[in-house]
Amino acid sequence: MPHLLRYSIVVVIVILDQITKIWADKSLEMYQQFPVTSFFNITRAYNYGAAFSFLDNEGGWQRWFFTAISLVVSIVLCVWLFRMTRAERWLSLSIALILGGAVGNLIDRLWYGYVVDFIQVYWGNSYFPSFNVADAAISCGAVLLLGLTLFEKNDETTEKTPTDKP
């Protein structure tokens, strides 16, 4: 996958993420639920913590902690993505998805001090924590990366052992 395509994926994710967050933030009242299906709502929620609201109510220090982590991870992923070969298309896709999501949420943390979430999935009375396009991209990238790690064949054949000569 060419570098331009890799970084285009990142940019598309960031733009889509920011547009949808701005829309949700401007169009919905806090925690207002707009039913889409019997298991999916659009709602507005703010996450001051990390994934699944981890450390959400810690008084504000977590904003800068998670901002710093996001920034470092984004830089590392950006360099890693640049160093990949064209043949590593699935790996570069997974890293581009993760990087796009990380940058999308990083923008929110820097700009607002929290991440805007608006997608709510539920089953009966059980609700999954709200998330956004950036979170979905990170999750898809992580699943793809895990699948590549677990199931991709290694190019090396079985280890060769020296044979004993009679």
CA dihedral 90, 96, 101, 105 (to 10 degrees): 160
CA distances (Å), origin 33, targets 45, 74, 117, 118: 10, 32, 12, 9
- Reference 131, options 97, 93, 94, 104; nearest CA is 104
Q: Which residues are catalytic?
A: 117, 135
3-27 helix and 61-83 helix, angle to the nearest 10 degrees = 150
